[in-house]
Structure 1
Amino acid sequence: MWGRLQTRDRLRRIGLQVEQECPMCGMHSESADHLFTQCIYVRNCIKELNRNHHLIPLCSNMGRMNDWLQKPTVGRFRCQTIQCICTALLYNIWIQRNSAIWQGSLSHFTKVVQQIKNEVWLRIQSIMPRKVQNKDKDWLRSILL
């Protein structure tokens, strides 16, 4: 999937004349690896998500993040919650990237993290199984509220 995203490095490889720099940090060339794992903007988002709990590691590339997501180290509910957070993070980073390109605006990373938390909370609340243990419910509240 990562090789199909229309990042600037991919657009340049197929012959389009586009800027090379990341629209979010402006310091490095934009690639999927940079955009989702190396950009200072996404790293700030991850640090903010990890403020009280270590949820997502700072990976150097998408392959490592994918490998990490495939090796659950916690219970099923927590693993699925973390996967939901990662998915929401990637989606919101892509939205911010497009906003930076097309509207010339970029939301502060704390606002994006709050959006991610709200989206994940609503999604999990709507599908939460009844058999979730109270300690997992408390954990969920502690990371998202």
Structure 2
Amino acid sequence: MLTQVQEKFHWSKAVWGRFNIPKHSFILWLAVQHRLKTRDRLSRFNIAEDSACLLCAGAEESGTHLFFECSFSQECLYQMKTWLGWQAHTEALQGLLRWIDRSRRSRFQKKVLAASIASLVYHVWQARNSKLWHSSIISPTLLVQEARWQLKTRITCIMPKQIDQVDKEWFESL
């Protein structure tokens, strides 16, 4: 066989979950489809001259690099995983979403993990744009704190009435 058959993966549940803030879902949707206006794409259309990553300057800025090969976004992902007690070894965006879908966690916890990835992708993209347009960069720690606060606030506001005690305790411990 000349080409490897790719397993079909349905990421729509993770992207459009109820716990996700809508603007986070939209940016995640664009990222999953590789449609964000990253510098590698802009340079292909001769819109940008430099395609170096704005956050780490260590590689070409692509969607794959930005989420989560970049040292800046890797640090953010590490802090988010530590906060959630998440042991997934993968760091690629598609791999993370696939891991959530296949994990043996409860449905509630899967939704929280998916919302955390959506929040993290959104905030990394915002940090990248802030560096581009305002020449300012936020630290990974502050970025993750903001993402965590928004995530907890959103989920607390729309928390399901029927939730297992284990899930409720897990969420309250975050």
Q: Please tell me whether residue 59 in structure 1 is matched to residue 90 in structure 2.
A: yes
Matches within 5 A, 1:102-121: 102-121=133-152
Aligned to 1:8: 39
Specify the alignment match of 1:81 in structure 2.
112
Larger RCO, structure (CA 8 Å, separation 6 or more):
2
TM normalised by structure 2 equals 0.75
The one-letter code matched in structure 2 to 1:34 is H
Q: CA deviation at 1:23?
A: 0.4
Matched residues in 1 for 2:159 and 2:110: separation?
13
Out of 89, 96, 100, the position equivalent to 2:127 is: 96
Residue 133 (structure 1) shift: 1.9
Q: Distance in 1 between matches of 2:87 and 2:151?
A: 15
Q: Is it true that 1:142 corresponds to 2:150 in the alignment?
A: no
Q: For 1:126, which of 157, 163, 172 is the aligned residue?
A: 157
- Could you tell me how far 1:63 is from its partner in structure 2? 3.0
Residue 157 of structure 2 aligns to a residue in which SS? helix
When residues 22 and 67 of structure 1 are mapped into structure 2, their CA distance, relative to the original with a 3 A threshold, is same
CA pair 52-8 structure 1, distance change in 2 beyond 3 A: closer
Q: Structure 1 stretch 9-18 or stretch 94-103: which is displaced more? A: 9-18
TM-score by length of 1: 0.89
Question: For the residues of structure 1 that align with 2:131 and 2:80, how far apart are their CA atoms?
Answer: 22
Gaps spanning 5+ residues in structure 1: where?
Answer: none
The superposition leaves residues 35-76 of structure 1 with CA deviations (integer Å, 9 ceiling, x where unpaired) of 011001111111111225442735353332332233242110
Q: 1:69-98 deviations in whole A, cap 9, x for unaligned?
A: 332421100000001101000000100000
% identity of equivalent residues: 28
Q: Secondary structure at the match of 2:88?
A: coil
**1:44 aligned to 2:75?**
yes
- CA–CA distance in 1 between the matches of 2:55 and 2:164? 40
Aligned residue pairs, count: 143
Secondary structure at 1:107 match in 2: coil
- The unaligned stretches of length 5 or more in structure 2 are 1-29
Kept after mapping to 2: 8 A contact 1:92/1:116: yes
